Amino acid sequence: MCGRYILVQKVDILEKRFQVEAGPSFTWEPHFNISPGQLAPVITSEHPDKLQLFRFGMVPFWAKKDMFLINARSEGDHNQDNNPSYTGARGIINKSAFRKPIRSQRCLIPADAFIEGSTEEKLNKPYLVYLRNKMRPFAFAGIFDRWEHPVTGEWIHSFAIITTTANSLLQKIPHHRSPVILLPNQEKKWLRSDLSLSDVTAMLQPLPGQMMNAYPIAPAIKQPGFQSPDLIHPIGERLEPETEMVHHTELQLSGMGSNKRFRFDPKKPQGI
């Protein structure tokens, strides 16, 4: 499951990175704890040149009441034991809530990092997972739908993150799922309306674990209303060591929602 993630980039950075435009009414502030029910930026296959705000937690168009489908399993009903070596059918194409969106309503979900807890302890023992070499923002592979509230008549545009088998890094947390993270050269392809279903499902693979790392953070992140840079401060060592050719140097936090200076200590784990 991927139920929490982080996006603290400014709008102009997102526009440049994904080659999109945000409308004049688009507003976005750094979010250190994007949770189900909150609005977040997406880029859809219907408007691949536009940055929009959709709700995290998808409601199928046919639903009788509001719901929050935050993740969509790429295997569908297959691989119920979450075997990380599974290479079989991508049953998402047959699930009633996902079979239409996976064919024609795909989206990119920009993120800087995501939060994952162990399978047993969940967000009582959370880790911040990020891509190495400062690869941020990146994009989750997502699907979206639109639903009309039967009482208020309000149209809700919402999205879900597609998940797949756990890569080697997620298995060390340990967690049984990975969100599908697209490589930059896959992003435009994911949004193409003429993409064959076989090409779509071929991209539903876990990112290699070697491209990622993670460190433990405090369980305060499990409170959806909490928003603070302190939420992503490490409270322990990274899962994988990283060599850093730096000494006690002042660094400027850029693109992470803060202008605060801090002194880097190579003996202590640092935030992303």
Give me the residue spans of the domains in the chain. Answer: 4-263
Average pLDDT, rounded, for the chain? 90
- The arrangement of strands across the sheet holding 113-118 comes to 31-34, 4-7, 113-118, 122-131, 212-216
**pLDDT bracket for residue 102 (50, 70, 90):** very high
Is pLDDT of 107 > 60? yes
Question: What is the pLDDT confidence band of residue 81, given thresholds at 50, 70 and 90?
Answer: very high
Residue 1: closest CA among 126, 104, 111 = 126
Is the domain spanning 4-263 CATH 3.30.470.20? The answer is no
Name the burial class of residue 107, with classes exposed (0-12), middle (13-18) and buried (19+) by CB atoms within 10 angstroms of its CB.
Answer: buried
Does the global pTM surpass 0.75?
yes
Confidence of residue 270 (pLDDT cuts 50, 70, 90): very low
pLDDT tens per residue, range 244-262 = 543 333 323 334 433 343 3
Interatomic CA distance for residues 203 and 182, integer angstroms: 8
- How confident is the model over 152-194, as pLDDT tens digits? 999 999 999 999 999 999 999 999 999 999 999 999 999 999 9
